[in-house]
Amino acid sequence: MEIKDILHPDCTLCAVQGTSKKRVLELISQIANQYLTDIDQATILSSLTCREKMGSTGIGNGIALPHGRLNDLENVIAIVVTSEKPINYDAIDNAPVDIFFAILVPEKKASEHLGTLSAIATKLNNKETLSRMRKATTDQELFEAIS
């Protein structure tokens, strides 16, 4: 799986002024809703927050991988957001988070999303990729850094 297969340039947002986990998840759901016009924002947000209630998706090193399942979704989509300043996200290393790589997966393909998460985590384990993402000043630079 290639990142570019699930991430559209319109689904990247660089250096937002998120102030909380809740606000970042709301922003991710807004971006997804613009791309997934048949699924309302509240449904997207609910999917993301339900997963967070099971345990934080903050994987450490300033990275979070929020994800959710949606019934009316046909294909996996990704949303990538960086925050201007890191925020408290209850990550496993207790460090604040500034890179949010969210994925939304079709409920009927839920078993496939673990492989997708693994591929994303591998990509985000690359120090050069992380550096380019954190240095990005435009949405396009962020898209190019991760795709």
Domain boundaries, the chain: 3-146
Active site residue 67: yes
Say what percent of the chain tops pLDDT 90.
Answer: 78
Report d(CA 143, CA 147) in Å as an integer.
Answer: 6
Candidates 24, 58, 67, 78; catalytic one: 67
Mean pLDDT of all residues belonging to the chain: 92
- Does residue 88 carry a pLDDT above 80? yes
Would you tell me the crossing angle of helices 139-146 and 127-135 to the nearest 10 degrees? Answer: 170
pTM: 0.94
SS3 content of the chain, % helix, strand, coil (to 5): 45, 25, 25
3-146, CATH topology level: Mannitol-specific EII; Chain A (3.40.930)
